[in-house]
A and B are shown apart, each in its own frame.
Chain A
Amino acid sequence: MLSIQNLTHTYPNGVQALKNVTLDIPKGMFGLLGPNGAGKSSLMRTIATLQQPTSGSITFGDIDVLSEPDSIRRTLGYLPQDFGVYPRGSAYELLDHLAILKGITNHKERKEVVEGLLVQTNLFDARKKKLSTYSGGMRQRFGIAQALIGGPRLIIVDEPTAGLDPEERNRFHNLLAEIGEEVVVILSTHIVDDVADLCPNMAILAAGQIIKKGTPTELVQAIKGQVWKKVIERDQLDAYKDNHNVISSHLTMGQTVIFVNADANPGDGFEASEPTLEDVYFSAIAESRNGHGAADAAA
């Protein structure tokens, strides 16, 4: 549905934000996972017509996103990573304003849409309050409400759950889940659980490159039998890192647990661990850091 071909973007200061990204995104929720600074927002902005790439192409259905930005905008819902609001104006007023800009010019229809979205996002009670007084969670819900106006077929939500408390995050996940399967929803996040909870398809982006893509199940399946864990003393961590391919380390009740990636049991007290999406993510990142990522993505 959404097809990204050889997308490259270099900032004027020489930083390469995206390197030859190629990605096909089907309908439904698509998770784009990556650490901070991986280029997720650059990619999201580029798809949302807010940034011109240095080269490459993006098509959505038969729309060429880069040359017909107005066409894609007509069917786009975008929730930016970090946004403010006009200093004056209530949620209702601003949604109404945005609805007109999204082409809902019929007054009655617009009222219906705006009120419906306010109820759906549980902001109806606060609809007359100034947006500038909203809490972070309310503001994110407002953000998704505005993105949904006009029934877009492409929805981009960029790091929507960052900074939300678990309750708000849960509420937000439910909202996203309701959007439906007939539209393309790209959820960019650095939180593995977001993807794990919501996305049938995903890709991992690191240092401007796609280093893994597929369904979460496939990806987890792929590393089955390769993840091993061990409880160690904290001061031994560096030594283990030198000798093993450590993909992550956690603290569990004050003890350090390390996970390593290996084709066979490294011995030395390691035991097999049932892989999770998190392991996929960390091993991919670790590979990318070690310089294997590019080859992998190219394959």
Chain B
Amino acid sequence: MMLPIAAQELRYFLKSPQALVSFVIFFLLTFFAMISPNITIGGGGNVDVNSPYAITMTLLTLNVFAVFVIPAFMANAVLKDFDSKFDGILFSTPMTKPDYLFGRFIGAFAAMSLALAGAPLGMLIGTLWPTVDPETLSPTNISHYFYVYGALVMPASLILSAIMYAIAIKTRSLMYTYIAAKGLLILYIVTLNLLQGPEYREINALLDPFAFSTFTEMTRYWTAVERNTTLLSYEGYLLTNRLIWLGVTVALGALSYVMFSFRTAAKMPKEKKDPMKAVHDLLASQVSVGSKGTPVWGNRTTFAQFWLRTRFEVKSVFTSLPFLIIVKFSLFLTITALIQRNVGYGLDAYPVTRLMIDAIRGGFGLALVVLLIFYSADIIWRERVAKFNEIIDALPTPNWVYVVSKLTALGLVLLSVLVLGIFTSITIQLLSGYDALEVSLYLHRGLAHTLLPFLLVAVLSAFVQVLSNNRFVGMMIMVLYLISTIVLQALGFEHPLYRFASDIDTPMSDMNGSGRFIVGDYWLIAYWTFVSGLLLMLTYMLWSRGTLQPLKLRMRNLRAFARPLSGAAAAILLMGAVGTGGFIYYNTNILNEYITVDDLEELQVEYEQTYRQYADLPMPRTTAIKVDVDIFPYRRRIEVRSNQVLQNKTDEAISTVHMVFPPQADVVDVALEGATRETFDERFNYHIFELDRPMLPGETRTLGYETLIQQQGFSHERNSVTLVRNGTFVNNSEFAPYIGFWPGGMMADRNTRREYGLEPLPRTPKLEDASQYGNNYIRQDSDFVTFETTVSTVEGQTVVAPGYLERDWVEDGRHYFEYSMDAPILNFYSYLSAEYQVIREEWNDLLIEVFHHAPHTYNTGRMIQAVKDSISYFNTAFSPYQHKQLRILEFPAYRNFAQAFPNTVPYSEGIGFIADISGEGVIDMPYYVTAHEVAHQWWAHQVMAANTQGGTMLVETLAQYGALLVMEKQYGKDQIRKFLKFELDRYLVGRATDPEGELPLYRVENQQYIHYRKGAVIMYALKDYLGEDVVNRALRRLIDLRAFQGKPYAISTDFIAFLKEEAPEHVGLIEDFFEKITLFNVSAGGSKVEQLADGTYKVTIDAEVAKIYADAEGNETTADFDIPVDIGVFSKNPADDDFSAEHVLYLEKHTVTEDGAIELIVDYEPTHVGVDPYNKLIDRNSNDNLRAVDTVELIASAATSAGSR
């Protein structure tokens, strides 16, 4: 009986709209994702777009969206009998309860599975599309799709279906089922966002019902080869996870069974004898019967009706249980988001208002969108669901009253949710002792600016519901809209004038607030408000009154536009839309150039095709720079006048000089001594000068130029974050010319190049390419230069450039500063202008200054301490500091990094200035970042690397090393261990996703995961194995050999050669660390502890060790494990917060033999043992290095005195 019921249910659904609509949508989503070169899910780089990894990633991602679809099947399967009042007949048939319940479920689930199979099918057919780049495809293997869909996706949707089915049975309400679905989705996404730290990975992997985290966790460190060939198999986390959820599913099935009954308690309305009847009768007798009232028509009536309906709708929402659930739930999410303000390395930021607003937007944002989609449908269909629509619709109330009151109510609901979020946020600020409340910022960015776009989407949603006349179809269209907001831009449709409710990035900063970014955004909001006004008019004109009728018949109602009032309103809205749209167009397309990402790529291709032929021409180099800069922060404009000296450093005569100005710079004037400009290509700012008389080797010429950079109005993308009112931060690459063909103007991404038929561009010249030894990797048109500058800004701001302040003066309301440098620097300088507070400290003939935004005083002390500790240590360990001053300069959080210029360190407010380091045992990020940047004064500004592979190893890896040393001295080994755990993880993730493949450290091609992350881990291990003195000695020799030198610059093998000379016994290890991609796999297999007669303990550890070499794609070969490894014995878990040196019973390096057994004796009873316990080696599973002691055999008499430590 069960199967026929299931089959009948399946047939029912296959004929229903939800199956077809879902199938089509899921098919199209994956199909377009596959054929669009701009969207890749899971693929990319060396990972093929139809690899098992990409298939799994795509289908699991889409499966999360299936939550929108599941209720349509599951609730319908069980509710249709009640809704159609067929339950009475059906349930009195001899059908049994399990037949009915499970039959229906099986049928609905089968139908849904067929509908969702649109996703794998769309993907598969997408791969056959001719435009898909065959280089990115693996051979088609249909079994992969079957496995992923059948074994990974369907179990997840089964779980969700069981949940929805149980909820539908319990609540007997479609709406509640949808609400529950939405709740689950929000809970899921937000939980994923909140629990991102490495410490949550395991729990996420075990509990994720979609198995999405399980998948990402199990494949986290998979290399390209594994991703292209391996399917996720049922083991480990996945197996446990699925077993847990299988249990939940079975339990829910049982629960549904128990909850469901064919017999519903009849709710017979009873007319009870009314005890107050006499009173009522008396009252009734006083009522005058007969008056039916005299309707009054006019604006007052209409307004009264509008107000009545709005109050009614708001009250209906506020008193509905789902709303209360949503609010409580969102509140929980928001509080969590407000409390977690992660700024990296496990640190939180102080609760500054802009971060709190971001958290509210993040915590409620998704909730608000989903709430909108569901509630707008709900609110619009309210009368129809209550079957009250025919009465309401025949009333003389205009359509707009219904529509506008519903939307107003929705707006008020959203508003109240946001207000609640803001109150929560302020409470949290006050509780954390932060009392610099910025109420106006809350009202502006937290409330108005957050709410307005949602209102626009609400109008769209209402319009779509009315147009489609079908709640489910309307909702699915809105889901498509949601997805379109994510992908339209990626597809090259960037213009904000046709993307509904589009916006312009409006980042916030404490220094500069919302800047001028917000102005453009408000123009867009105004434009979309006018458009929404028109949509709103269409919505209420097309509003179905009474019977749902096809659009064609309803179109007749549009003649209402002919009425004077409607006509005038429509005309005003249209004019408003055209007017604001025109102004936006003026800004995005006339004041600024409208360039899409595709346009940019085409320009890059053309630039390369036109000018790359000149790349190898001999060019003179800049040797001296004098530059005057006028900064106009309020006009977002910088004017530059410069004279620089070019010298022919080649040994041949030069007769043409090429130069490229930055794309965003207007060249007002440019003149080269003794030369005429033959070519000026405005599109690429490319200039070619013919010299009247060739420049002989050694000869110099003066280059004079005037440039202007400015941000006029606003552009649709890439609004300048450097030109702002308070916190201007520019460097010379934005206004000064590059002499010769500028390689940075070419397209770098390998896959994009292939689309345009271009050969791959080497990221970096080969290590062996001696022609590059005379070029540094920052820029190849200059070496060390002399530098002086005069710079002005508005009065009230301070502007800082590299060099020493010679004098400053005020003239005509402008503040001038003259800086000059005492030693040659790299051609790399910056200007920062802001209303700064300055903290100054003189220390050992060194002036340390922190220029900061007034309220940001939290960590300035740590920064100054880091400068002192770093310089004093580097002075002895490396070489003397070349300057007499070091300045840290805060700039707005529109960009998040710190950067080292000569004696100057611009430092974003977002990364160190507001990090809360008051917690116990936390990583002192401001200290670390400062130490890293100070180390660059040596590793970049003393020893610069050549433009070859491995260049960034000498700059970034060595700066990491410097920072690690200073941090270890200040905070001890445990802090370093914590820090390196973050770095190791980021390295392992990075290597798995590198688009061009991994390289050994000494050949790093500006790959951040290698030179920062792996570099830190390697240098710390190197120091541990070789000794700090040995490493430092090699570094000093490198400085002696290459400091302040441009011919040749240092290369990575210079350093490695010194290392090998200093530590000949470790040559193999040095090669493993630097010259190969080496992975270790060490773990503590087991341990035994035996108490000896003398009260000491014999510890036996089973050390499991392996060494693996990997190639660029991740193919692995096993090698002999030939290096010694740390063996540790502890009386406390080293991962505990209060672990300290006294708990270390033993820590020595051992050479591990074949059988891996290690025996040693300690004085106190151990609790933990470890093989490489501090994770010094690169190991993909760093959690199995430590192990609690398995068995302890105590000698009875000594048992009581043992274990006291």
| Residues in chain A within 8 A of chain B (CB atoms) | 12, 45, 48-52, 54, 67, 69-70, 73-74, 76, 78-80, 82-88, 97-106, 109-110, 112-113, 115-120, 124-126, 133-135, 138, 143, 146, 148-152
User: Are A119 and B287 within 8 A (Cβ)?
Assistant: yes
Contact indicator B292/A149 (Cβ below 8 Å): yes
A-contact 0/1 string along B669-709, CB 8 Å cutoff:
00000000000000000000000000000000000000000
Shortest CB-to-CB span from A231 to chain B, Å, is 36
Given the complex, which residues of B lie within 8 Å of A49, measured CB to CB?
393-394, 545-546
**Stretch in B547-555, B1008-1016, B1109-1117 touching the partner:** B547-555
Give B648-667 as 1s and 0s: 1 = Cβ < 8 Å from A's Cβ atoms: 00000000000000000000
In the complex, what distance in Å separates the CA atom of A104 from the CA atom of B293?
6
Interfacial chain A residues near B319, Cβ < 8 Å: 88
CA distance A146 to B394 in the complex (A): 11
Known pairs A52-B549, A80-B390, A125-B281 / 19 extra A-B pairs, C-beta < 8 Å? A48-B546, A51-B549, A73-B394, A78-B391, A83-B387, A83-B388, A85-B386, A98-B391, A100-B308, A101-B308, A101-B309, A101-B392, A103-B301, A103-B396, A133-B269, A134-B269, A149-B292, A150-B294, A150-B295
> Can you list 29 residue pairs at the A/B interface with Cβ under 8 Å?
A45-B547, A49-B545, A51-B549, A54-B553, A70-B396, A73-B396, A74-B396, A80-B394, A82-B387, A83-B387, A83-B388, A84-B386, A97-B308, A99-B293, A101-B396, A112-B293, A113-B292, A113-B293, A115-B287, A117-B292, A120-B290, A124-B284, A125-B280, A125-B281, A135-B269, A138-B271, A150-B292, A150-B294, A151-B292
Task: Please give me the residue from chain A that is nearest to B552 by CB atom.
Answer: A12
User: Which residues of the partner chain A approach B431 to less than 8 Å between Cβ atoms?
Assistant: none
If A105-B304, A151-B292 touch, whether A50 touches B545 (CB-CB below 8 Å) is: yes
Report the 9 A-B pairs with minimum CB-CB distance, sorted nearest first.
A50-B546, A103-B295, A84-B387, A151-B292, A80-B390, A73-B396, A113-B293, A78-B394, A74-B396
Contacts of B296 in A (CB 8 A): 103-106
Whether the Cβ atoms of B395 and A73 lie closer than 8 Å is yes
Q: Is B312 an interface residue (CB 8 A)?
A: yes
Fill in one digit per residue for B255-287: 1 if any A CB lies within 8 Å of its CB, else 0.
000000000000001010010110011011001
Question: Is A45 in contact with B546, judged by CB distance below 8 angstroms?
Answer: yes
Chain B residues within 8 Å of A117, by CB:
292
Q: Quote the shortest CB–CB distance from A20 to chain B (angstroms).
A: 18
Q: Is the CB of B549 within 8 A of A86?
A: no
Contacts of B277 in A (CB 8 A): 125
- Interface: B86 (CB within 8 A): no
How far does the Cβ of B299 sit from chain A's closest Cβ, in whole Å?
11
Closest to A100 in B: B308
* B15 CB contacts on chain A under 8 angstroms: none
Verify B287–A87 contact, CB threshold 8 A: no
* A118 to B269 Cα, complex, angstroms: 19
B396 CB contacts on chain A under 8 angstroms: 70, 73-74, 76, 101-103
State how many angstroms separate the Cβ of A119 from the closest Cβ of chain B. Answer: 5
> B290–A116 contact, CB under 8 A?
yes
Residues of A within 8 A of B718 (CB): none
Which of B293, B305, B547, B554: most chain A CB closer than 10 A? B293
Contacts of A133 in B (CB 8 A): 269
Q: From the candidates A50, A109, A110, name the one contacting B394 in the complex (CB within 8 A).
A: A50
| Residues of A close to B398: CB separation below 8 A | 70
For A12, A79, A109, A119, which residue has the most chain B Cβ atoms within 10 angstroms? A119
Cβ of B397 within 8 Å of any chain A Cβ, yes or no, is yes
**Interface set of B (CB-CB < 8 Å, partner A):** 269, 271, 274, 276-277, 280-281, 283-284, 287-297, 300-301, 304-305, 308-309, 312, 316, 319, 382, 386-388, 390-398, 545-547, 549-550, 553-554, 556, 559
Across the interface, name the chain B residue whose C-beta is closest to A47: B394
Contact A86 B386 (CB under 8 A): yes
Distance of A146 from chain B, by nearest CB (Å): 6
When A52-B553, A125-B274 are in contact, do A87 and B288 touch as well, CB less than 8 Å? no
CB distance from A238 to the nearest CB of B (A): 30
* Residue in B284, B289, B290, B390 whose beta carbon sits within 8 Å of that of A83 in the complex: B390
Q: Which of A48, A97, A119, A148 contacts B284 (CB 8 A)?
A: A119
**Is the beta-carbon distance between A101 and B549 smaller than 8 angstroms?**
no
Q: How many A-B residue pairs have CB under 8 A?
A: 151
Decide if the interface of chain B is mainly helix, strand, loop or mixed: loop
Q: How far does the alpha carbon of A58 sit from the alpha carbon of B259 in the complex, in Å?
A: 53
By CB atoms of chain A within 10 A, which of B291, B396, B554, B559 has the most? B396
- Could you say which residues of chain A place their CB within 8 Å of the CB of B269? 133-135
Judging by beta carbons under 8 Å apart, are A116 and B287 in contact?
yes
When C-beta atoms are compared, the residue in chain A nearest to B277 turns out to be A125
B297: A residues at CB distance < 8 A:
74, 103
Residues of chain B within 8 A of A86, CB atoms compared: 316, 382, 386, 388
Closest to A143 in B: B391
With the chains together, A92 CA to B382 CA distance in Å?
20
Task: Provide the bound-state CA to CA distance between A233 and B1087, in Å.
Answer: 101
Contact A101 B395 (CB under 8 A): yes
The answer to whether A105 and B301 touch (CB under 8 A), given A52-B553, A125-B280, is yes
| A83 contact set on B, CB distance < 8 A | 387-388, 390-391
CA–CA, A175 and B625, complex, Å: 101
- Evaluate contact between B553 and A84: CB separation under 8 angstroms: no
CB neighbours of A97 from chain B (8 A): 308, 312
CA distance in complex: A20, B388 (Å): 30
A81 to chain B, nearest CB (A): 8
Is the Cβ of A151 less than 8 Å from the Cβ of B387?
no
Q: Compute how far the CA of A150 lies from the CA of B396 in the bound complex, rounded to whole angstroms.
A: 11
B1082 shortest CB reach to chain A, Å: 65
The distance from the CB of B104 to the nearest CB of chain A, in whole angstroms, is 26
CB pair B545–A116 under 8 Å, yes or no, is no
B274 cross-chain contacts in A, Cβ below 8 A: 125-126
Complex alpha-carbon distance, A99 and B395, angstroms = 10
Q: Chain B nearest CB: distance from A84 CB in Å?
A: 3
Q: How far is the CA of A50 from the CA of B553 in the complex (A)?
A: 12
Give the CA-CA distance A219 to B24 in the complex, in Å: 58
**Which chain A residues lie closer than 8 Å to B397 at the CB level?**
73, 101
Within 8 Å by CB of B293, from A12, A109, A146, lies: A109
Contacts of A152 in B (CB 8 A): 292
CA distance A50 to B290 in the complex (A): 28
Complex: chain A residue closest to B284, CB-CB? A124
CB distance from B264 to the nearest CB of A (A): 16
Complexed CA–CA distance, A113 and B294 (Å): 9
- In the assembled complex, which residues on chain B have CB atoms less than 8 Å from the CB atom of A125? 274, 276-277, 280-281, 284
Q: Which residues of B contact A149 (CB under 8 A)?
A: 292-293
> What CA separation (Å) do A104 and B395 show in the bound complex?
12
- Report chain B residues within 8 Å CB of A115: 287
Chain B residues in 8 Å Cβ range of A51: 546-547, 549
Residues of A within 8 A of B312 (CB): 97
Q: How far is the CA of A151 from the CA of B291 in the complex (A)?
A: 8
Interface centre among B271, B308, B388, B390 (most CB of A within 10 A): B390
**In the bound complex, CA of A149 to CA of B292 (Å):** 5
In the docked arrangement, what's the CA distance between A68 and B316, Å?
31
A126 to B284, CA, bound (A): 11
Nearest CB on B from A125, distance (A): 4
| Minimum Cβ distance to chain B for residue A103 (Å) | 3
B394 contact set on A, CB distance < 8 A: 48-50, 73, 76, 78, 80
Chain B hits for A119, CB < 8 A: 284, 287, 289
Residue ID in chain A nearest B285 by CB atoms: A119
Which B residue's beta carbon lies closest to that of A87? B386
Q: Which of A85, A103, A113, A150: most chain B Cβ within 10 A?
A: A103
Per a CB cutoff under 8 Å, which of A118, A120, A135 touches B271? Answer: A135
A43 to chain B, nearest CB (A): 12
B292's nearest neighbour on chain A, judged by CB, is: A151
Report yes or no: A110 in contact with B293, Cβ–Cβ below 8 A.
yes
Which of chain B's residues have a CB closer than 8 A to the CB of A102?
A: 293, 295, 395-396
Among residues of B, the one whose C-beta sits closest to the C-beta of A73 is B396
Decide if B293 touches A150 in the complex (CB within 8 Å): yes
Within the assembled complex, what's the spacing in Å between the Cα atoms of A83 and B386?
A: 8
Q: How far apart sit A48 and B287, CA to CA, in the bound complex (Å)?
A: 31
